[in-house]
Structures are given as C-alpha cells and as structure tokens.
Structure 1
Amino acid sequence: MNGAQAMVRTLADAGVGVWFANPGTSELHLVAALDGEPRARGVLCLFEGVATGAADGYGRMAGGPAAVLLHLGPGLANGLANLHNARRAKTPVVTVIGDHATHHHRFDAPLQSDIATVAGSVSAWMRLPQTAADVGPAAADVVAAARAGGVATLIVPADAAWSEGGTVAEARPAPPPAPAAGDALEPVAAALTGGEPCVVLIGGAATRRAGLEAAGRIAAATGARVLCETFPARLERGAGVPPVERLAYLGEMASAQLAGARHIVLAGARRPVTFFAYPDLPGDLVPDGCQVHDLGANPAESLAGLADAVAGDARPPRQAAARPEIPTGALTAETAAAVIGALLPDGAIVSDEANTSGLWLAGATAGAPPHDWLTLTGGAIGQGLPVATGAAVARPDRPVICLEADGSAMYTISALWTQAREGLDVTTVVFNNGAYAILSMETTRVGAMAAPPAAGTIARDMVDLSRPSLDFVALASGMGVPASRARTAEEFADQFGRAIAEPGPHLIEAVVPPLG
C-alpha cells in the first residue's frame, strides 16, 4: 500500500469521504487512490477557490469535514480567500496540499514555494509527513484537528504519496470540547441582573437553535438585548425560532445598536469592531465605560448555564410565521427580497453573498419557514456560489438558495459547472446591478473621493461592470445550468417559483438598479 492509499482509506475510516479537488501532477497518486476506496467521492472544481469554498459550505452544514485537494503553493494561493473565510467561521476543513517530492526540492523547480508559511496563515493545525509511513497517522490526526473546529492542513510530498510502506491509521478522537464557563458565569449573571443595560452578542455555535433559545430566555428574564455577529457562519432562523438582530455592517449603525450598554457578553462572538479604519471614526465599537465579558470557547453550553442561573422558567420569544405578499411592477432589490420571502421553501439553506442588494432580505424572510442562513464570515468575496455548492453536497435532502451579487459572482462563477456536473439542487439568484456597488459606498466613507457618479473617470470605471455588461444567462447556460433573466417582479416570482420546484441547479439573473 502506498502513502496515498493509506491516506484516503484513513480519512474514509474517520468519516471523511468527500474530496473537493483541483489537483495537479503532484497529487495524481492521491486522485488515483480515490478509485480504490468505495466510500470516497471526488468532486471536481475548476478553480481552487471553488474547492475551498465548497469545503467550507460542506463543513458548515455537515458538522464534520470534507477534504479539499490543492496543487502546490500556487493552488493553495488560489484557494486562500475561501480558506480565510472558513478560518473565520471555524469550519472543520481537511486541507491536503501536494508538494514536490522531497528529493526534488533542491532544484528550485518553477512551482517551488514556501507552502507551509502560506498555509500557516489560515490553518489551526498543520503537519508535513515526509514518508509513506508518516502519511496514515498524519491523516488520522488531521481529521481530529479539523473536528476541533478549524482548517487543518497536510502538506504531502509526492514521493510520500507514491512510495510503498503506507499503513492505515485508526481514527483519533477529536479533542474534548472546551468546558463551559462554569464559575466565570457568576460575574456575568450579576451584570445581567444588576439593572444596568446589557447586550448579549452571539456567534459561532451559539447561533444554532440551542444557543438562540438560551439567549432568548436571558433576554426575556433580564431585559438584555441580544444581537448576532454581523456575519454568522450558520444562523438558524424563521418561524418558530427565537429571532435575533444582526450587528450592523456600518460602524455608525452598529454603534447605535450598542449605545448605552454597560456590559457586553460575548457568546461565541469576537469583540465588536468596524470592518475597516475610517478617518476620524473609532474602530472599536464597545461604548466608553462598557465592560466586556467573554463566555469562552463553549458558548452554547455556557449560555444554557447562564440562562438557568438568571432566567428561571422564562420562555424566549419566537418569530411569528409571516410572509410578504408577492409584489408586482418594477424589479428592485426590495421587491426581489419580498418574492424570496414569499416563496422560500421549508428547510432551505441560504448562502448569502448578495451584498448591497441584500439589505431587505433579513426582514422579508424573517417569518418564512425555518431555514439556515450562511454568510460571508471573513469578508473575502467569492464565497456564495462555492459555499452553496458544498452545502448541497452535504445536505442533498434540502433545497439550497444562493443569493449572489454580480461582482462577487464572477470570482467563482465556475462553481456553476460543478453544480451541473453533480446535479446539485441549488437555485442561484444573481442580483445584476452592473456595479461593484459596495465600493461606491465605501469610496466616500473612507474619504478617498466623491462617490460615483461625481467621482472622476477612473474612479467611476473601477466600480462599473458595464462595457461589456455581464450576461449571466449565457454564462450559466454555457456551463450546463438552466438560466433565465427577470426584469419585473412578476417575471422573478414566476422564475423563482419554477426553479425551486424543479430538482437540479438553476440560475436567475435578477436585473435590479443599483442603490442610490
């Protein structure tokens, strides 16, 4: 048995059977080994950023890792943005990066690079097995590390993969979960019941049903305000689920949400800060004089303990079932959101990278049937289509809706090809407003220049997606995905309804005006 065969079988024994891959020469023995393992499924992606994003989406919905196979340092670099998003989401991902054979390093071949340094920027755990005998044990360890929550990486030299002497290693248990806050809850409970304004900011595992229930009980009993981090990895929401408002993206709006708080309790969320630095504006969003309490690495369990301590038999509020009326007339980001809220299927998984066109989505879908909402955790755009792809592989029993901005769609548009090849039930809505609209807004916020259209010619061109205009119907059709274009609310409702009723991938190009 060679090292590649030992790795593939070890991963399969540990429950990792899906491989999202964009391989090269150095990984071909690993690819060949997939044929010898009936539990392995290879999913070809045409760009490494699709493969890494799909592994992120899979991990968010499966609760365990898939493997992503990348080619040397340049392949890793191509996939780095979505590994960054996975790192911020704490998604379990097994990253396997092929390297040159150990004896080939001395030649400084054209694709030689410092893979470990680059991989270290996104990896919670990393190992570099050097021989076939090392590969099996390293594969068992990488799964355990990924299951602890994060990107775990193996850098595998080609000769360690092709050489004989590999052995299958027994699955390692994941490290035990971090203990709940325990005694540290006492000062937090005192703060919540002390009469001063409190905010509970939830993130990570606390945005699932158990965490939402506990946070809702605390709010009902103490009057604390519950907010969710701006970009949660996986937020459960919809009718019957305790509702939660997300912390605003814009710093001024987030400051207003937190204004007056004397205590902020972090439950799986990071300390709130602005996404960027702005002239004459603070980057830290914690109000002056406010004390920050962190519940630690096991936020859902700590929230449950905190609720038991301060909430007694208080019951959390629940989102009422409600849907917008299907609108008529012009198609705008607002009317498109109403259509989606009116028709969103029960149990949907929504991958949201709608950006500025998504401002009305939260309100329009709040009372829809229960669903999961996956967001852009690390802010590196190009996540929406790949995450939807991976989520559909993880949960073929549930409909997946990808809500995508036109500019960010082009980063990883080839994910549509993988969806067609795999027959994935993904309905993609591309909001085509012909612009990088988010940059038009940020241009003035950073004080660089006047916003388009008042900005100069070069500045306008840098946020304009016309000349030529993008044709997403042609792009999707060319990759085997049935596609249509909607210019009115009626057309969009008809096309969206038909797309979610049919199995397999579909794309709707929703032509909407830019904001402002």
Structure 2
Amino acid sequence: MNGADSLCDTLLANDVRVCFANPGTSEMHFVAALDRKPEMRCILGLSEGVVTGAADGYARMTDHPAATLLHTGPGLANGLANLHNARRARIPMINIVGDHASYHLPLDAPLTSDIEGLAGTMSNWVHRIRSPEDIVGATEAAYRASLSPPGVATLILPADAAWGDVEADRPIRLSRPEPHAVNMDSVRGVAAAIRDAPGEVGILVSGAAARADCLEIAGAIAAARDVRLFCEMQLPRVERGHGRVALTRIPYPIDAALDLLADIDVLVLVGAPEPVAFFAYPGKPGRLVRKGCRVLTLASHGDDLKGALEALRDELDVRQSPPPTRSQRLSDDIVPFGHLTEDAIAVMVAARLPDNAIICDEGVTSARRFFELSADSAPHDYLMNTGGSIGCGIPLATGAAVACPDRKVINLQADGSAMYTVQGLWTQAREDLDVITIIFANRAYAVLHAEMRNVGVNGIGENARRMMDLDHPAWDWVSIAKGMGVDAAGAHSCEQFADLFQSALRRRGPFLIEAII
C-alpha cells in the first residue's frame, strides 16, 4: 500500500465517501488510489470553484464533510472564492491539495507556491503531510478539525508522500466530536434579560438552530414571551415552508435592516454572529442594532444549539404556551400573466414548489422577494450565498443534489454570477443530477447599479455602464446550457415560464430555464 491508499482508506473509514475533484500531475497517485476504491464517489468539476462550491452544498445538506481534490497552489487559488463562502457557512470540508514531491520544492518549479499561505486565508486548519507514515494521523486530524467545530480543513499532500510505501494498518473509525455543552450561566443571563427587557426582544438563529426541531422550541419561546424570530441576512440553511415556524430574514439593504431592528432592545444570538451591514456607506452605521441594544449570546457555533434553546425554554418556564405561529400553505392557483418579471417568477416558484425541495438562492437582487413568499410554500430547505463571493449558486445546487438524490433542487440564479462557475452545469449533466436552474436574465450586474445609488452616485456614465451591463453581447443561456449537456428553454412571458417550470418539475435530471426579465 502507498500513502495515497492509506489516505483514501482513512477517509472511507470515517464515511467521507464523496470526492469533488479537479486533479493534476501531482495528484495522479491519489487518483490511482481512488480508482482502486469504488466505494468513493469521484465527481469531476471543470473549475475548482465548482469543486469547492459543490462540497459546500453537499456539507450543508448532510452535516458531514466531502473531500475535495485540488492541484497545487494555483488550483487551490481557483477555488478560494467558494471556500470563502463555505467558511462563512461554517460547514465541514476536507480539502486535499496536491503538491510537488518534497525534494522537488527547492528547485522552484513553475507550479511551486505558498500553499499554506493560500489555504490559511480560507481554512480553519491547515497541515502539510511530511511522509507516508504521517498520512493516517494527519487525515484523522483533518477529519476531526472539519467537525470540531464544523469548518474548512486543508491537507497538503506532497507527491512523494502519496507514492511512498507504508504499512497497511486497518484504518480507525473515529467518533464524531460532540458539540460543546450548554452554558447554564449564559442561559440564566439571557432568560433574565428577556424577562426584564423594557421593550422588544429578538432571537437571531443560524446553523442547526434554523432547523425545524429547533425552530419549534424557538417558536414556543417567541409565542409565550412575545419575542421576534430572525435569521441571518446570508444564512447557510433554514428549514422553511408551511407548517413550520417562520423566521424574518434581516434584509440586505441597510436602511431596511436598520428599520427592522430599530425597536429591538435585547437581541439574543443562537449560533449566529451579531448582524452588521454588508458594506460601509457614507453617514450610516456598520452595526445594525440600535445604540443601547443589549446583544447577548445564548450559544455559539460549535455549541449544542438545540440543548441551549431547550434550556432557555425551561428557564423561562415555557410549558403551556400557545402553539408557535406557523405559516399557511400558499395557493398554487396564483398565475401571473403577461410580461415576465422577477416578482412574478418568485410568486410562481413559491406557489408550485414541490414537497421537500431544496432551494439554492443566488438570485442576488432578482430573487429577494422569494424568501418572504417561501414561508407559505411546501416544506423545503433554503440555502444561499453566505460570504458574498459570487459564483456559488450552480455549484451549491450541484453538491446539494449529490447529497440528496431523491429531492428536487431548484437554483435561483442571477445571470452575471452564474458565469463564474457555469462549468457546474456540465457536472450536473454528467452526474444526471435533478436540478432546475432558473436564470434571471436581466443582463446586468443589477446589484452594482443599486450600490452606485447607495453610495450617493445617481448619474451613471458610459464607463460605469460598461462595467455593470452585460447586454453587449447578450448571453444565450439556452445555447450555453445545451453546450454543457443540459436541456434548456427560454421564457419571455409569465405563461411561458409557468409551462416550462411545471414541465421541469415533472421530469428528472438537469434543466435550465432562461427567464428573460
């Protein structure tokens, strides 16, 4: 057995059974090892941004790491943007980055780079393997690091460590790290603040606290104590839809966010950081809570979020409370007509969403209304861009579909950001993934038009327009998708879109709708 075999065996022993990959020469021994391990599902991405984004989507839906395989420093660098989003999503991931043989590094060959420096910017944990004998221990450490607390772990694999011989020890199955225990001092402090609050109280949830079981507990507290429930502006995953406790998302536009939180006197964080503005704007605050608001942490990422909510419920003596507010089922009889608009798309998708679907939202400005409407859709999971680095939507949907092959995945996708990782459509075709991609074809970086106004620039000249408009030439998304092996069609009207969406829901496999708005 060589080092690459032992690395692969250690991953498999710990149920890491999917490897999203874009390998090169330095990784060929690991590729050969994967060839000897049919239990490992190997999925090729034609861009490293697809690889890292797909691993992110997979982890969000399984709470378990996939592996990525990347080619030296430049390959890692190509994937860093979606590693940034994954780090912000606080999900588990194990990156395997191949490198030159250790004795070749002093020669400064063309692909030689500071992999540790690159990886450290977007990883919680980085380790360079020193020898074939180091591989098993290092891989076990990477697995633990990806889960305690969940985050991005990067393992650097020199080629000579991969091809070197090693004793064939039986790999060990590691126990999954437990979350940190509930801090009862924090629970009692938060309970007292809720009881004594002079005005409005809010609870802001993220991570596992945005799942249906935790939302039941939070909803009971909210109903009994007149508390408002919020979720992050850029949330990793929330279980949503009719019959579930609904959350109010903090909006992206800073004025709307400030207005939403203006009356909150106590804000309790459960697995979420304090909300701040996405950017600085002249004359406006960076913090979104008002001055004087008490911001208290009930539990942080890596803590037992459900246990903390249960303890808070008990501390507040919430037992015979009225049932938490639940959303109602949105009627699927709503049929907009005429010219296709982004709001009409949001209404039609929300009304016709199938049970147990997964929404991956990178619609940016075009899909903002969907989240509000989705409270009344069929029960579903909602995922979105967490770090603001565009190009995550298509890969995120790809990884979610790999993780949940029996569920329909719907990607709400802005056209400009789709072009960053359009190669993910090819992976969807190759793997026959059940993904509907809806391209909001406004042929502009519409968010940048809005941001120009937000920073006080009202007149847009020719140079600025050429950096924000995408219509000269306009993309033909139907041809792009078909060139990647994905069937596609375009819609100019509400009636055309409704027919295409219904048809896509009835079929299995990847399909793209170019919604021309």
Partner of 2:311: 305
Per-residue CA shift, 1:131-190, capped at 9, x if unaligned?
111112211221122122011110010100011115453133233211113222112101
**CA–CA distance in 1 between the matches of 2:36 and 2:489?**
41
1:389-408 equivalence runs, <5 A: 389-408=398-417
In the alignment, the residues of structure 1 paired with residue 27 and residue 331 of structure 2 have an alpha-carbon distance, to the nearest angstrom, of: 49
Q: C-alpha separation between the residues in 2 aligned to 1:372 and 1:167?
A: 42
Q: 1:88 to 1:166 in 2, by over 3 A?
A: farther
Q: Which residue of 2 aligns with 1:239?
A: 242
Please tell me the residue identity of whatever aligns with 1:484.
A
- Aligned to 1:510, which of 507, 510, 515? 515
Instruction: Show the counterpart of 1:185.
Output: 187
Match for residue 491 of structure 1?
A: 496
Q: Percent identity?
A: 48
Read off the aligned partner of 2:186 and give its amino acid letter: A
Structure 1 residue ranges without an equivalent (≥5):
none
SS of match in other structure, 2:500: helix
Q: Give SS of 2:229's match.
A: strand
Alignment correspondent of 1:430? 439
Partner of 1:157: 158
CA RMSD of aligned residues (A): 1.2
Is residue 470 from structure 1 mapped to residue 475 from structure 2 by the alignment? yes
Counterpart for residue 325 of structure 2:
317
Q: Deviations over 1:478-516 (max 9, x none)?
A: 01100000000010010011111111100000001xxxx
Structure 2 residue identity aligned to 1:246: R
SS at match of 1:198: strand
Partner residue in 1 for 2:273: 270
Query: Compared with structure 1, are the counterparts of its residues 445 and 34 closer, same or farther at alpha carbon in structure 2 (3 Å cutoff)?
Result: same
Confirm whether residue 445 of structure 1 aligns to residue 448 of structure 2: no
Equivalent residues of 1:22, 1:45 under 8 A apart: yes
List 4+ stretches of structure 1 deviating above 3 A.
166-169
Asked whether the equivalents of residues 100 and 112 of structure 1 are also in contact (C-alpha less than 8 Å), the reply is: yes
How far 1:203 sits from its partner (Å)? 1.1
**Structure 1 residue 367, shift from structure 2 partner:** 1.2
Report deviation, 1:108: 0.9
TM-score with structure 1 length normalisation? Answer: 0.97
Conservation of the 8 A alpha-carbon contact between 2:204 and 2:270: yes
Code of the residue aligned with 1:286 in structure 2: it is: V
Aligned AA for 1:25?
Answer: T
Output the CA distance in 2 between the equivalents of 1:220 and 1:364.
22
Distance 2:182 2:331 in 1: 38
SS at match of 2:46: coil
2:264 to 261, 266, 275: 261
Map 1:359-378; keep pairs closer than 5 Å.
Answer: 359-378=368-387
Alpha-carbon distance, 1:117 to partner: 1.1
Higher mean displacement: 386-395 or 184-193: 184-193
Query: How many residues are aligned here?
Result: 508
Deviations 1:305-325 (A, max 9, x none): 112222223231111112350
Q: Distance in 2 between matches of 1:249 and 1:48?
A: 28
Query: Following the alignment from structure 1 to structure 2, what is the Cα–Cα distance between the partners of residues 400 and 469?
Result: 27
**SS at 1:227 equivalent:** strand
Q: Which letter does structure 1 place at the counterpart of 2:141?
A: D
Contact kept, 8 Å, 2:186 with 2:297, in 1: the verdict is: no
TM-superposition CA deviations, 1:1-38 (whole Å, max 9, x none): 10001111110111001100011111111111111112
1:340·1:364 contact (CA, 8 Å) conserved in 2? no
- 2:418 aligns with 409
The CA deviation at 1:421 is 0.2
User: Contact between 2:182 and 2:299, CA under 8 Å: does it hold in 1?
Assistant: yes
The alpha-carbon deviation at position 61 of structure 1 amounts to: 0.5
Could you say which residue in structure 2 is the equivalent of 1:77?
Answer: 77
Contact 1:145 1:175 in 2 (8 A): no
For residues 182-217 of structure 1, the C-alpha deviation after alignment (integer angstroms, 9 at most, x for no partner) is 222112101112242211111121111122112111
| Equivalence map 1:100-249=2 (5 Å) | 100-148=100-148, 149-165=150-166, 167-168=168-169, 169-196=171-198, 197-249=200-252
AA aligned to 1:151 is V
Contact 1:323 1:341 in 2 (8 A): no
Q: C-alpha deviations, 1:254-294, integer Å up to 9, x for none? A: 11111122211011111111011111111011211111111
Task: Give the conservation status (yes or no) of the 8 Å contact 2:197–2:266.
Answer: no
**What SS does the aligned partner of 1:26 have?**
helix
Structure 1 letter corresponding to 2:357: A
Say which SS state the counterpart of residue 419 (structure 1) adopts: helix
- Per the TM alignment, residue 342 of structure 1 is displaced from its structure 2 partner at its CA by 2.0
Alpha carbons of structure 1 residues 261 and 471: separation in structure 2 relative to 1, 3 Å: same
Matched, 1:479 2:484: yes
- State the one-letter code of the partner of 1:439: L
Answer whether contact 2:197 2:265 (CA < 8 A) is retained: no
3-state secondary structure, aligned to 2:451: helix
Q: Distance in 2 between matches of 1:187 and 1:141?
A: 36
Q: Is the 8 A contact 1:134 1:166 kept in 2?
A: no
Q: Which amino acid aligns with 1:269?
A: A
Render the CA deviation track for 1:381-409: whole Å, top value 9, x for unaligned.
10000000000000001110011000000
DSSP-derived class of the 1:118 partner: helix
Deviations 1:72-104 (A, max 9, x none): 111111000111111111111111100111001
Contact 1:435 1:465 in 2 (8 A): yes
